[in-house]
Amino acid sequence: MTQTPSSSGQSPKRRESAVSRFLNATELDTRLLGMVAALAMIWIGFHFFGLFKTGFGAFLTPRNLWNLSVQTASIGIMATGMVLVIVTRNIDLSVGSILGFCAIAMGMMQVHILPQYLGLGHPAIWIITVIFGMAVGTVIGALHGWLIAYLAIPAFIVTLGGLLVWRGAAFLVARGETISPVDSTFALLGGGPYGAVGAMGSWIVGLIGCAAVIYMIIAGRRKRKTFGIPQRPVWAEYFLSALGCGVIVGAVLLVNSYYWPRGIVRAYAAENNIEIPEGGLFISHGFAIPVLILLGVGIGMTILMNRTRFGRYVFAIGGNPEAAKLAGINTRWMTVKIFALMGLLTGLSSVVASARLGSATNALGTLDELYVIAAAVIGGTSLAGGVGTIYGAILGAFVMQSLQTGMVLVGFDAAMQQIVVGSVLVLAVYLDNQYRRASK
Amino acid sequence: MSNSEQKTPLVVLRNISISFGGIKAVDDVSLDLYPGEVVGLLGHNGAGKSTLIKILSGAYEADSGEIWINGEKAEINSPRDARDYNIETIYQTLALADNLDAASNLFLGRELVSRLGTVDDARMEAETRKIMARLNPNFKKLKEPVSALSGGQRQSVAIARAVYFNAKILIMDEPTAALGVHETAMVADLIKELKAQGLGIFLISHDTREMMELCDRVSVMKNGQLVGTERVEDVTEDDILSMIILGKNPKREAA
Ligand SMILES: Nc1ncnc2c1ncn2[C@@H]1O[C@H](COP(=O)(O)OP(=O)(O)OP(=O)(O)O)[C@@H](O)[C@H]1O
Ligand SMILES: [Mg+2]
C-alpha cells in the first residue's frame, strides 16, 4: 500500500528551514513558544499604550510584574486542576463559588470559632484553618464528582447548579457580612511585603531551580542513551540549560528589585531598632509565598499527570472513555477523585485569595470559573478531551491575568474588561482549533 | 483435538441471555471452549457475536446464564474480573485511547512502575518494541499517539496487548479486519502458535474460508440465538454459509 507510485512526485524529505531545524533540535513546543509570544505582546503592548497615553509605562516595572505574579497564583492553582477536569471531557463552572464558600468557611473558623478555644493569635489557628478550607473544598468537589459519575448528571449541569448553590450558601453562612481580620500568619499566605521570602530566600529558590534544570537535562540524556532513543544535539542541550537558568535567574533578579514600600520599611526598622542609612534602606520582596505555592502545585500536578498511573488514566479516559473502562479502569471513581482534587485546589486557592484580601467576603472568586477555564484552554487543554498540560494552564493563567492587570492599568472600565476577556476566550478556542488542524 | 471431550473445558457459557431495551441481543446461548482449541463465531451483522463475547470479557453483565472457567463457576462483573481469569480480549472497536502512544495503550490499566511507584515509560516502551517486532516488524511509530497510526497498525497494537500478558483464554473479535495480506497471515500463524501453547481462543470473523482453516469448531449465531456448533471437518463451507443465511443447521435438518 505504501508502494503506490505518487504522481505528484514530491520528494519525501523536503528541505527544512533553519527555524524548523532549530525547533526539531531543541524539541521546544511550538505551542509554548506561541504562548510566550502572546504574553510578550500583551506586556509590551500595555506598557507602551500606557507610555503614550499617560507618559508613564507602568506595566514592565518590578512592582507591577511582582503583583501580577501574586494575582496569577489564585487562578493558576485552580487552572492546574481544571486541566484534569477538561481532559476527561468534563467542565467545572462552580470553582469561583466554591472558592467563595471556602473563604467564608475559613473566615468563620479562624475569626469566630478557633479563637474561642485556642485564644486569639494561637499559632495553630492558621494551620487548622488551611486544612479545614481545603477539606471543605475537597468534600464539595467529591460531592459534585459523585453526582456526575454515579447519578449520571452531566458535569455542566451539576457545576452550574453548584455555581448558584455555593455562592448562596456562602451568603447564608456569613449572613452577607465580611469576616475579618484573618489570622496574621494566615495573611502571609497571600503575599505582601511580609509574605515574601526576601532576596536571600529567592536566590536559594533560584539556585535549586537551576540545579533542577541541569539535572533534568543530564538525566534525560542518560535515559535516552540507556534506551537507544536519539539524542538532542549537544548545542541544543546547552541552549536549553542556558534558557532555563536564564529565565529563573531573571525572575529572581526581577522580584529582588522590587523593594518594600518606604512606610513599611520605616515601621520594620523601628520595630527592630535598625538605623535607616543615608540613602534609604532597601529591602527586597523576593518571591511571594503564593507564587511559591503555585510553583509547588505546578510541579506536583505535573508529576501526577505525567509520572503516575492516576495521570495516565486521566488521559486515557479523555482519549476514549470506553477503552479506559475496558482496560479495567474504574472511570466513575476516577471522576470522583478528579473533582475532589479540583475542590482541594480550589480550597487552596481560596486560602491564597482570602489571605491576600485579609478578609473573607461571600463575593470572593466571582467570575473566577471563567478565568480558570480560559487559562486552561489558552494553555492548550482541548475541550474535546484527552489533551492538556499543567505548565500550559499556568502560562494561560499568566496570560489572562496580564490582560486583566493591563486593562486596569491603562484605565479600561469593568464593562470593557468583560468584553475583552469574553472575546479572548472565544478567540483562544478558535486559534486552538486552527493550531490543531495545522499540526495534524 | 480428538480427545478434547475428556478434559475439563476451559470455558463454558451456559444459557447466556442479554437484551438491550427489549431487543434480545443474545438469547439463551451455550458454548464451550477447550484448552488448545479455536472456536469460531460466525453470523450476520448484528447476530450478537460481539455482545456474547463481551459478556465473557466483563464488558457487559448477562441478564441470565452462567460462566464456568476450568470447571468452576465464575463471577465476571468487570473487565478486571475477566483479567483475573486470564481472559484477554481484542475488541472489534480495538478499544484504544487515541491520544496515548502504543506502549501506554498496551499497558493501560497495568502499567509497569518503578520502585517509587511512578510509571516506567522507558521499560514499557522497550517491552512494546519487543512484542511489536514479533507481530509487525514494520511497526516503527512507538512514540506517536495511536491516532496517527493506520488501521492495521492500530489493530496490531490491540493484538499485542492481548498477547503480551500471557492469556489462557483469548477472545479475538475480527482481529484481521483491517490487516493486509501479509499481516493477516502473521496473525494466522500467531493463532496457531498460541493454540499449540494450549490457549483457548474464541475467534470472530466473517471470512468463512479463514475460519475453516483456523478453527476446530465453528458456532453460528443468528438474531441472538445459536444456530449450531459443528466441528470444521464435519461440514463444508457451503453448510456453514447456509447456517448463517438460513439460520438452519443442515445436518440436524437431515437427521
Ligand atoms: N450497547 C448496546 N446497546 C444497545 N444495543 C446493542 C448494544 N450492543 C449491541 N446491541 C445490539 O445487539 C445486537 C447484536 O450486536 P453485536 O454487536 O453483538 O453484533 P455482531 O454479531 O457482533 O455484529 P457484527 O458482525 O456487525 O460485528 C445488535 O442488534 C445491536 O444493535
Ligand atoms: Mg461484532
pLDDT in tens, A365-374: 999 999 999 9
Query: What is the number of alpha carbons within 13 Å of residue A425 lying toward its C-beta?
Result: 17
Give dist(CA B190, CA B185) in Å, integer.
9
- A214-220 LR contacts (CB < 8 Å, sep 24+): A214/A241, A214/A245, A217/A241, A217/A244
Query: Which residue segments constitute the domains of chain A, with CATH numbers given?
Result: 29-196+288-439 (1.10.3470), 197-287 (no CATH)
Q: Give residue A266's identity as a one-letter amino acid code.
A: R
Identify the structural domains of chain B with CATH numbers, from first to last: 1-86+168-255 (3.40.50.300), 99-166 (no CATH)
User: Residue A76's pLDDT is what?
Assistant: 98
- The predicted pLDDT at position B252 comes to 63
* Residue B43 Cα: closest atom of ligand 1: 21
Residues of B in contact with A223 (CB under 8 A): 122
Pocket test for ligand 1, best of B26, B51, B202 (most atoms within 8 A of CB): B51
| Residues of chain B found within 8 Å of residue A226, distances taken between Cβ atoms | 122
In this structure, what C-alpha cell is assigned to residue A364? 470572593
Asked if A309 and B119 come within 8 Å (Cβ–Cβ), the reply is yes
pLDDT tens profile A39-61: 999 999 999 998 988 888 889 99
Residue B65's H or E segment, with its range, is strand B64-69
- As a whole number, mean pLDDT of residues A302-315 equals 96
A56-103: per-residue pLDDT in tens?
Answer: 888 999 999 999 999 999 999 999 999 999 999 999 999 999 999 999
CA dist., res. A225 & res. A223, Å (int):
5
Question: Using a 6 Å cutoff on CB, does residue B49 contact ligand 1?
Answer: yes
Nearest to A323 among B83, B97, B117 (CB): B97
Q: What are phi and psi of B90, to 5 degrees?
A: -105, 110
Under DSSP, the state recorded for B29 is E
Whether residue A2 is predicted with pLDDT greater than 80 in this model: the reply is no
CA distances to B26, B63, B75, B119, B224 from B15, rounded to whole Å, are 9, 10, 15, 42, 12
Q: What is the distance in A from the centroid of ligand 1 to the CA of B25? A: 6
Helix (H), strand (E) at residue A414: helix A414-439
Distance CA(A219)–CA(A136), nearest Å, equals 40
Query: What pLDDT sits at residue A27?
Result: 80
Residue nearest to atom 19 of ligand 1 (CA): B46
pLDDT reported for residue B165: 93
Question: CB neighbours (10 Å) of residue A322?
Answer: 14
- Are residues B109 and A318, on separate chains, in Cβ contact within 8 Å? no
Mean per-residue pLDDT, A24-34: 82
Of A182, A75, A191, A98, the residue nearest A144 (C-alpha): A98
Neighbours of A169 (CB within 10 A): 19
Residue by residue, what is the 3-state secondary structure of B120-143? CHHHHHHHHHHHHHHHCCCCCCCC
Distance B215 CA to ligand 2 centre (A): 18
Which pLDDT score, from 0 to 100, does residue A16 have? Answer: 66
CA distances from B64 to A437, B13, B67, B223 (A): 48, 11, 10, 17
What's the pLDDT at A14? 52
**What residue ranges of chain B have pLDDT lower than 70?**
1-6, 250-255
> Taking 60 as the threshold, does the pLDDT of residue A351 lie above it?
yes
CB A259 within 8 A of CB A285: yes
DSSP B59: S
Lowest mean per-residue pLDDT among A375-384, A429-438, B68-77, B192-201: A429-438
Residues of A with CB under 8 A from a CB of B: 1, 223, 226-227, 303, 307-309, 312, 315-316, 318-320, 322-329, 386-387
Q: For A251-259, what is the mean pLDDT?
A: 94
Closest-CA residue, ligand 1 atom 5, reads B20
Q: Does the pLDDT at position A6 exceed 60?
A: no
The mean pLDDT of A268-279, rounded to a whole number, is 83
| Range picked from A11-20, A110-119, B243-252 for highest mean pLDDT | A110-119
CA proximity to A411, closest of A120, A22, A46, A97: A46
Query: Phi/psi of residue B175, each to 5°?
Result: -70, -15
Written as one letter, the residue type at B237 is: E
Alpha-helical (H) ranges within B87-196 are 102-106, 121-135, 151-164, 181-196
Q: Return the pLDDT at B1.
A: 44
Average pLDDT over residues A111-128: 91
Per-residue CA distances from B60 to A119, A326, A331, B53, B92 (Å) = 59, 10, 15, 9, 15
Give the model's pLDDT for residue A421. 86
Whole-number pLDDT of residue A264: 87
For residue B93, the CA-to-ligand 2 centroid distance in Å is 9
Residue A151: alpha-carbon gap to chain centroid: 31
Q: Ligand 2: distance of its center to the CA of B50 in Å?
A: 4
Percent of chain A residues topping a pLDDT of 90: 68
